[in-house]
A and B are shown apart, each in its own frame.
Chain A
Amino acid sequence: MNNRTLQVHLGIGACLVGLFLILYGIPNWVSSPSNVPKIILSPLFWPYTIAGLTGLVGLGLIVFGRGADDDDIPVNDPIEDPGTGVVRLAAMAVLMMVTFWAMPRIGMVWASMGAFAALAFLVRTRHPKIALTCAVLVPLVLYAFFAHVASVAIPQGNYVRLP
């Protein structure tokens, strides 16, 4: 992907977002009372303005993007294993979802220990022992700090509670 395709892709994306908001998103997801005296006071006015501007910026990106040089310089540094890279990203997304789901159920400390260890292995750390030690210690230290120094009610979950 060079600079020109990037601009054009972004422009098309912005136009689509603007159109979607104007035609579907704002009418369905922004509610407004029926008796608004002036259109500029309506809760809809500002979202419509933003959506319209997004569309305009999208058009601008397409126009300027097409005028740009069509060179071969990629905008992002390539990595050696794009295929597994995508798999790792998907794993990261799953990791975040599982952590978010687990936090209120098993407690933030245990969930973050799991997240720490999983992430360390996801990025293929060269120090697995240190990583595991930190995975246990860092959430515990943070728990002690937040719960007992800052008196924040860190979610404890339904199973094993810490003092």
Chain B
Amino acid sequence: MSLFDSIMAGFALVGNFNAFLSLFIGIIIGVIGGAIPGISATMAVALALPFTFPMQPINGILLLLGVYKGGIFGGSIPAILIKTPGTPASSATILDGHPMAARGEAGRALGMALWASCTADLISNLSLILFAGWLASFALNFGPPEFFALMLFSLTIIAGVSGDSLLRGALSALLGLLLATIGLDLVYGTNRFTFGDPSLMGGLNFIAVLIGLFAIPEVINMVWHPTGHIGKVQSLGSKWVTFADYKRSFRSIVRGSFIGVFLGSIPGIGAAPAAFLSYSEARRKSPNKANFGKGEIEGVAASEAGNNGVAGATLIPLLALGVPGDVITAIIIGAFMVHGLQPGPMMFVMNVDIIYGLFIGLIFSSGLLLIVGSLAIRGFRPVADIPKRILMPCVLVLCIYGVFAVNNNIFDVGVMFVMGWVGFVMSRYHIPAAPFLIAFILGPLLEDNFRQAMLMSGGSPEILLRGPITWFFWALTVITVVAISRGTLNKAREPG
């Protein structure tokens, strides 16, 4: 099928009202979900997932992508208004967005966040369309040894999400790896840590673990300290973002978008590090360096460009390799599988119409985000005013229903509760949750591919270095590990 045929087939799939309606609804759900602290973009996607099961595959996936993009933007609304990031990705937005809100310029900050988000989204989507096919062309060369090398490299990303202590990040990752071993052994089918319970034989449900680790600790923390959140909600203010502001920040937005695209296309990094990297680059290059952190609009623009730049690019490894780039795409990959689509190289062969349908839908998503976002900024205030002590029980009940619906299994709700306590204890001990989750996803892939490679070679480790792809990822891994070690040692040597 020629490119033109593929594009036409894609148009035939999305060229109807339902596809755009799904995308539109998705963005609305995402913006609202992202804007409610406690329902991050991740949870919004997880909760929307069961509703897409009965839909057409393309509509369902577009809806989820809409939720994803909307959620990443939506997270900036509470970050700016009440200093609580709606999603982890918008943590960097707080740095300058909240001081602006405190000055009564919340409207201007939100407007800039929206424009930067949409610009970055567009750049990210175009990068996906241009590079995904190129990546997919050699993706069939990925056998178990190549995947093992890639997963090993992806695990080094844990260093980037560990926060202030690499060792605590490593501990968190090891905990994730350990819990991922629960279930039936891949090669021999024997039980590992199942304690004779049939429900544990399938392993811990990923979404139950995810929601348990991120949303439930918020609820438990509220129980521990019911008045901890009490603060003030600032008014929107009358000042609105101007084109001059946008022009001034444009370089930072574009730079941030490409940082997002680059980090997003590498599996396992996610949007929060991209936002921080983009922010620090913008600060380094800006003439207003001193104003950063005190309410500099360029800082808001850079952070939001960084995290939205990730949103389209994470689909590159998802579509080309079948590898989830972050937590959210790990859930979206589930939606593909529900519809019998196997993301990965074969999708470009078997379901090329769906791929192009997604591309076309994505291009329109940036424009839809701009519309929904402007409405949301104006209309959001009443929702943000829900008292947090009413909101948290809502979150709990939502989580119960959402987690049950994933696999129609009450046991998963129990897993979510238990993981909630694990997450709460982890937060009390300042163990970051992100490495846990990345390891929980990557651990089984790492082990399975290692053992499959060993089965292929009859136990000889040479197969792990069988070709240029493996050499490339091994070299990357070594370089990253050396860089991390040097950075850690330098930090340790610094006085004070």
Q: Known: A89-B220, A138-B394, A152-B50. Is A40-B405 also a contact (CB below 8 A)? A: no
Asked if B481 lies at the interface with its beta carbon under 8 angstroms from chain A, I say no
Q: Known: A41-B451, A122-B223. Is A64-B167 also a contact (CB below 8 A)? A: yes
Closest to B224 in A: A85
- Residue total for B at the interface (Cβ-Cβ under 8 A): 61
* Contact residue among B185, B191, B393 (Cβ-Cβ distance under 8 Å from A134): B393
* Contact residue among B222, B397, B428, B429 (Cβ-Cβ distance under 8 Å from A123): B222
B479 to chain A, nearest CB (A): 21
Contact A92 B220 (CB under 8 A): yes
Contact A125 B389 (CB under 8 A): yes
Chain B residues, CB < 8 A from A53: 170, 174
Q: Known: A6-B430, A50-B181, A54-B174. Is A116-B190 also a contact (CB below 8 A)? A: no
Q: Known: A14-B171, A41-B459, A54-B178. Is A139-B192 also a contact (CB below 8 A)? A: no
Chain B residues, CB < 8 A from A103: 400, 410, 413
Contact A120 B53 (CB under 8 A): no
Contact A127 B430 (CB under 8 A): no
* Contact residue among A29, A36, A75, A96 (Cβ-Cβ distance under 8 Å from B193): A29
Chain A residues, CB < 8 A from B429: 6, 9-10
Other A-B pairs, 14, CB within 8 Å; known A60-B167, A146-B401? A10-B168, A14-B171, A31-B191, A40-B451, A40-B454, A50-B174, A93-B421, A96-B417, A96-B420, A124-B226, A125-B387, A134-B394, A139-B401, A152-B50
Q: Which of B353-396 contact A (CB under 8 A)?
A: 387, 389-390, 392-394, 396
Chain A residues, CB < 8 A from B224: 79, 85, 88-89
Chain A residues, CB < 8 A from B396: 115-116, 119
Contact B459 A119 (CB under 8 A): no
Chain B residues, CB < 8 A from A31: 190-192
Contact B54 A150 (CB under 8 A): yes
Closest to B397 in A: A112
Bin the interface of chain A by size: 35 or more
Contact B390 A130 (CB under 8 A): yes
Chain B residues, CB < 8 A from A124: 226, 389
* Contact residue among A61, A89, A134 (Cβ-Cβ distance under 8 Å from B390): A134
A24 to B404: give the CA distance in the assembly, Å: 33
Contact A150 B394 (CB under 8 A): no
Chain A residues, CB < 8 A from B50: 146, 150, 152
**Chain B contact surface mostly:** helix
Q: Known: A100-B413, A112-B401. Is A89-B223 also a contact (CB below 8 A)? A: yes
Chain B residues, CB < 8 A from A64: 167, 492
Contact B387 A126 (CB under 8 A): yes
Chain B residues, CB < 8 A from A10: 168, 171, 429, 431
Chain B 185-222: CB-based contact to A (< 8 A → 1; otherwise 0): 10110111111000000000000000000000001101
Asked if B468 lies at the interface with its beta carbon under 8 angstroms from chain A, I say no
B33 to chain A, nearest CB (A): 15
Chain B residues, CB < 8 A from A43: 185, 187-188, 190, 192
Contact A100 B54 (CB under 8 A): no
Asked if A77 lies at the interface with its beta carbon under 8 angstroms from chain B, I say yes
Q: Known: A32-B190, A47-B181, A138-B394. Is A154-B404 also a contact (CB below 8 A)? A: yes
Contact A38 B459 (CB under 8 A): yes
Chain A residues, CB < 8 A from B471: none
Contact B408 A152 (CB under 8 A): yes
Q: Known: A6-B430, A46-B447, A126-B387. Is A131-B190 also a contact (CB below 8 A)? A: no
